[in-house]
Chain A
Amino acid sequence: NAGVMQNPRHLVRRRGQEARLRCSPMKGHSHVYWYRQLPEEGLKFMVYLQKENIIDESGMPKERFSAEFPKEGPSILRIQQVVRGDSAAYFCASSPRRGAGETQYFGPGTRLLVL
């Protein structure tokens, strides 16, 4: 029973390029969350998605960032025209249901470095 999968594990981009981060939730999980961890900081919530729906994107920057969780396939976090400040570890988590106390299982993260 595979855990949450994220790829790539490491991604290097030059300023102005696009970054695409993928997250495959655990089998049977239909709720996905994205978090960003800046160097020497804790995790900050970005977005919460269910299949084909964005439920809460209150933590997403207003520009350049978007997320989707299609009916088939992984969830994608897309960052357009990356800047150096986007360098961070991006973690995806999944849970089977929506509800207080439902444990979120985390993936290993994608470490993005913008040159």
Chain B
Amino acid sequence: GEDVEQSLFLSVREGDSSVINCTYTDSSSTYLYWYKQEPGAGLQLLTYIFSNMDMKQDQRLTVLLNKKDKHLSLRIADTQTGDSAIYFCASSGGYQKVTFGIGTKLQVIP
């Protein structure tokens, strides 16, 4: 079945860039997503990229997609303490079923 993998933990200093990586297995994935989850809260969609794109930029967020290697990354520029959260990579093909990774916990050190 589909699988999405990502590292569990990332620690960066405030002001540095954060890069969170993800790999997925389903070659029919049409959309790839990044969600943010703060403690005790639901998931907030940060950004998504269509599979025929290789890059998408939205303010401090840059998403890179290497479709050949099925590798997705999220770069957060000028990371702030408010960016501390768990970041989920997710993919969907077909109609809508979304497969999530385990989540990367980002810790921002002041």
Contact = CB atoms under 8 A, between A and B. Distances in A.
A85 interface: no
Given A100-B31, A101-B50, A103-B48, A43 B42 contact: no
A40 B97 CA distance: 21
Nearest to B97: A45
B24 interface: no
Contacts, number: 60
A100 B30 contact: yes
Interface residues of B, number: 24
B96 A105 contact: no
Contacts of B95: 98-100
Interface stretch (B10-18, B56-64, B100-108): B100-108
B48 A108 contact: no
Contacts of B102: 40-42
A25 interface: no
A67 to B, nearest CB: 15
B48 to A, nearest CB: 7
Contact of B96 (A4, A40, A102, A109): A102
Interface string B42-68: 111100101000000000000000000
Interface string A21-32: 000000000010
Given A91-B43, A101-B31, A108-B41, A33 B100 contact: no
B73 interface: no
A48 B99 CA distance: 13
Interface of B: 4, 30-31, 35, 41-45, 48, 50, 88, 92-103
17 contacts: A4-B42, A41-B102, A42-B4, A42-B103, A44-B100, A48-B96, A48-B97, A91-B42, A91-B43, A95-B96, A98-B95, A99-B95, A100-B92, A100-B94, A106-B42, A106-B45, A109-B41
Given A42-B103, A43-B43, A104-B96, 12 more contacts: A42-B100, A43-B88, A48-B96, A91-B43, A98-B96, A100-B30, A100-B31, A100-B95, A101-B92, A106-B35, A106-B44, A107-B42
